[in-house]
Amino acid sequence: MRDFEKVFKDMDDVFKEMDKVFKQMDKVMETAQDFSGNIVRKLELGPWKPWFAWRPVNTVSGKRVWWTTIYRRTINTYVDHEDWTRYEYGNLFDVLKSTEK
């Protein structure tokens, strides 16, 4: 049983590092500017779709969940002719809150 606990702890550490990398990517995208000083950034939000969280993920509300069915949507960010796709996770309440806007 201890081997599984170590594997899950290691996986949790890896996902925390991935979260740090995504946050750094967001900072880079916020500072991307064109020659006139305008920030060149375009976001395209995909629809929310049910997804089974087979690995630990952080929801929009900050809750860490896994091994359950939640909702996921893609976020495509276009900066200077390059694009990055990342995902945003949430429960039903997060989905309803985002559709109110």
Q: How many domains does the chain have?
A: 1
Give me the chain's average pLDDT, please.
77
Tens of pLDDT along 55-70? 999 998 889 998 999 9
> CA 33: distance to chain centroid?
23
22-45 pLDDT, tens digit per residue, is 776 666 555 555 555 555 566 778
> How many whole angstroms separate alpha carbon 25 and alpha carbon 47?
22
- pTM for this entry: 0.55
Q: What integer pLDDT is reported at residue 11 of this predicted model? A: 75
SS3 labels along 17-74: HHHHHHHHHHHHHHHCECCCCCECCEEEECCCEEEEECCCEEECCCCEECCEEEEEEE
E strand or H helix at 13: helix 2-31
The domain of 61 spans 2-100
